[in-house]
C-alpha cells in the first residue's frame, strides 16, 4: 500500500432530534395534557488510535465521515433514540489539526487513545417540558440542535526510537534489514526507499527498539530538492539519529566524505530553523558503512582523516551492513543509549525518610 502521511477529512456529527408536539388522548381521561417527548441527541464523531494502521492511505478514498442523527420524540413522553457515535481509526503517531485555524487538536501517541472531534447536537424539547400552572396545554417545542461539522488535517509522524538518515545509496535500507525483521527494498540505485520503513530490533525479552528509515536526503532537501522535506518530520520523535555514510560512495575514489556529512547536517539545521523543531539537537552518531569495500589500512586512514576534518567528538561505528559486520556492537550501544535516555526522562521519586522514633521512657 502506498504510504500517505497527510490527509484532509470532513467530519459531521449528527443533528439532535426535534421535540414532539403531542397531547394525551385516552378514554375516560378528558384532560390528558401534553405528553410530547424530547428528541434524541445526535451521534458524535471520535478519532481513535490503533496500532493496526501505519498509513493514512485509507483517507484518500473516504474523506467524509458522518455520525447518525437523533430521532424525534414521541407521545407518552417518549424520548427519541440518540444517534450512534462514529469511531474513526487512525494510526498511532497521527497529529490532528483544525484545517481552518491550524490549531492542534490532539496528538495520538498511545494505542486506544480516543478524542471527540465533532460533538452531536442536543435533542429538542417536547411540549411536555413547557407545561406550567399558567399554560396547561403548551403547543411549544424546540428543534434539535445541529451537530458540529469541521474539516481536519491529519499528519502522521511515525513513532520510532532511532532514525536513519544519509545520502541516497548510503546503505540505510540494508542496515535496517541487517538489524531487524523489516524487508525494505534494496537496489543499486538512488531513492530505492520512497516512504518511511519501520523495523523492530529485538535483543531479548523486554529489550527492543524501533528504527525508522526515511528516503535518502540530498543537498537542498530542506527547500524541497529530491524527495524534499516531507519525510524529515518522521525523525522528530526519535531519541537518536544514525547518520549513515558510504565510505566509498558509488566506487568514486574522489568522493568528498566531509561534504557528504556536512551537507546532511546543514539540511537538518535549515529544516529545524524553518519549522521550529529540535531535529538538529538530537543525538547523532556517525555510522561508516560498506567498510568491506576498502582495504583495512585504507579504511583506517579514511576514517581518521574524516573525523579530524569534521572535528567529530561523538560516537563512531564502522560497519558492513551487507555482511553484518559490526552491526551487533552498534545495536547493543543503541539499546544502552535508549535505556539511559528513558531513565533520565523519568521523574524522580522522592522517598520520605522516616524520623527516628522517640525513645521510650
Q: What pLDDT does 271 receive?
A: 80
Assess whether pLDDT exceeds 90 at residue 190. Answer: no
DSSP 109-127: -STT-EEEEEPPPPPPPPG
Spatial distance between the Cα atoms of 191 and 184, rounded to a whole number of angstroms: 12
Spatial distance between the Cα atoms of 138 and 136, rounded to a whole number of angstroms: 6
**CB-CB contact of 283 with 325 (8 Å):** no
pLDDT above 70 covers a percentage of the chain that reads: 84
Exposed, middle or buried: residue 176 (CB in 10 Å: 0-12, 13-18, 19+)?
Answer: buried
Q: What pLDDT does 3 receive?
A: 53
In this prediction, residues 138-157 reach a mean pLDDT of: 94
State whether the Cα torsion 47-50-52-57 is positive or negative.
positive
Confidence of residue 229 (pLDDT cuts 50, 70, 90): low
In this prediction, residues 162-189 reach a mean pLDDT of: 79
For helices 327-345 and 172-179, what crossing angle results, to 10°? Answer: 80
**CB-CB contact of 52 with 158 (8 Å):** no
Assess whether pLDDT exceeds 70 at residue 294. Answer: yes
Q: Around Cβ 86, how many Cβ atoms within 10 Å?
A: 21
Q: Around Cβ 253, how many Cβ atoms within 10 Å?
A: 8
From the centroid of its chain, how far is CA 52?
Answer: 13
Assess whether pLDDT exceeds 60 at residue 359. Answer: no
Kindly give, in sequence order, each residue whose CB lies less than 8 Å from that of residue 106, ignoring residues fewer than 6 positions away: 47, 95, 96, 113, 115, 117
Alpha helix ranges (H) inside 171-253: 172-179
Mean pLDDT of the chain: 84
Could you report the per-residue pLDDT of 236-264, keeping only the tens digit for each? 778 899 999 998 765 555 568 888 888 88
Could you report the per-residue pLDDT of 28-85, keeping only the tens digit for each? 776 778 999 999 999 999 999 998 787 787 888 899 999 999 999 999 999 999 999 9
Assess whether pLDDT exceeds 70 at residue 128. Answer: yes
In the chain, the domains with their CATH numbers are 1-156 (2.70.210.12), 162-345 (3.40.50.300)
Assess whether pLDDT exceeds 80 at residue 225. Answer: no
Residue count of the chain: 361
The count of C-alpha atoms lying within 13 angstroms of the C-alpha of 331, restricted to the half-sphere facing its C-beta, is 23
Distance from the first to the final alpha carbon of the chain? 80
Confidence of residue 151 (pLDDT cuts 50, 70, 90): very high
In this prediction, residues 193-208 reach a mean pLDDT of: 76
Nearest alpha carbon to residue 261 among 125, 170, 138, 129: 170
Confidence of residue 1 (pLDDT cuts 50, 70, 90): very low
Residue 317 forms beta bridges with which residues? Answer: 287
Give the burial string for 130-143 (b: 16+ CB within 10 Å, else e): bbeeeeeebeebbb
Q: What pLDDT does 112 receive?
A: 93
From the centroid of its chain, how far is CA 220?
Answer: 26
Spatial distance between the Cα atoms of 49 and 89, rounded to a whole number of angstroms: 6
Most confident of 76-85, 166-175, 218-227: 76-85
Amino acid at each position: 500500500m502506498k504510504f500517505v502521511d497527510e490527509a484532509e477529512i470532513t467530519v459531521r456529527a449528527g443533528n439532535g432530534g426535534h421535540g414532539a408536539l403531542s397531547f394525551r388522548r385516552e378514554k375516560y381521561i378528558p384532560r390528558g395534557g401534553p405528553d410530547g417527548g424530547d428528541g434524541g441527541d445526535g451521534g458524535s464523531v471520535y478519532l481513535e488510535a490503533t496500532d493496526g494502521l501505519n498509513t493514512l492511505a485509507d483517507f484518500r478514498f473516504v474523506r467524509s465521515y458522518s455520525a447518525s442523527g437523533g430521532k424525534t420524540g414521541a407521545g407518552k413522553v417518549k424520548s427519541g433514540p440518540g444517534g450512534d457515535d462514529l469511531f474513526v481509526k487512525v494510526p498511532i503517531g497521527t497529529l490532528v489539526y483544525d484545517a481552518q485555524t491550524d490549531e492542534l487538536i490532539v496528538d495520538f501517541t498511545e494505542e486506544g487513545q480516543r478524542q471527540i472531534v465533532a460533538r452531536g447536537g442536543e435533542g429538542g424539547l417536547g411540549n411536555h417540558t413547557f407545561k406550567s400552572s399558567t399554560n396547561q396545554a403548551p403547543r411549544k417545542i424546540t428543534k434539535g440542535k445541529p451537530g458540529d461539522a469541521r474539516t481536519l488535517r491529519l499528519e502522521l509522524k511515525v513513532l520510532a526510537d532511532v532514525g536513519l538518515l544519509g545520502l541516497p545509496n548510503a546503505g540505510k535500507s540494508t542496515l535496517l534489514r541487517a538489524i531487524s525483521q523489516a524487508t525494505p527494498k534494496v537496489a543499486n540505485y538512488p531513492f530505492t526507499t520512497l516512504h518511511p520503513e519501520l523495523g523492530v530490533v529485538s535483543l531479548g525479552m523486554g529489550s527492543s527498539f524501533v528504527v525508522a528509515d526515511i528516503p535518502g536526503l540530498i543537498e537542498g532537501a530542506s527547500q524541497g530538492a529530491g524527495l524534499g522535506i516531507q519525510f524529515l518530520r518522521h525523525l522528530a520523535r526519535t531519541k537518536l539519529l544514525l547518520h549513515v555514510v558510504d565510505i566509498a560512495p558509488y566506487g568514486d575514489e574522489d568522493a568528498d566524505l566531509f561534504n557528504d556529512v556536512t551537507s546532511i547536517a546543514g539540511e537538518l539545521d535549515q529544516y529545524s530553523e524553518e519549522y521550529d523543531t529540535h531535529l538538529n539537537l538530537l543525538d547523532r552518531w556517525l555510522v561508516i558503512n560498506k567498510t568491506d569495500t576498502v582495504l583495512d589500512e585504507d579504511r583506517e586512514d579514511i576514517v581518521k582523516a574524516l573525523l579530524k576534518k569534521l572535528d567529530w567528538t561523538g560516537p563512531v561505528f564502522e560497519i558492513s551492513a551487507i555482511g553484518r559486520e559490526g552491526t551487533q556492537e552498534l545495536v547493543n550501544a543503541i539499546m544502552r543509549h535508549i535505556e539511559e535516555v528513558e531513565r533520565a526522562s523519568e521523574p524522580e521519586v522522592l522517598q520520605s525518610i522516616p524520623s527516628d522514633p522517640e525513645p521510650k521512657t
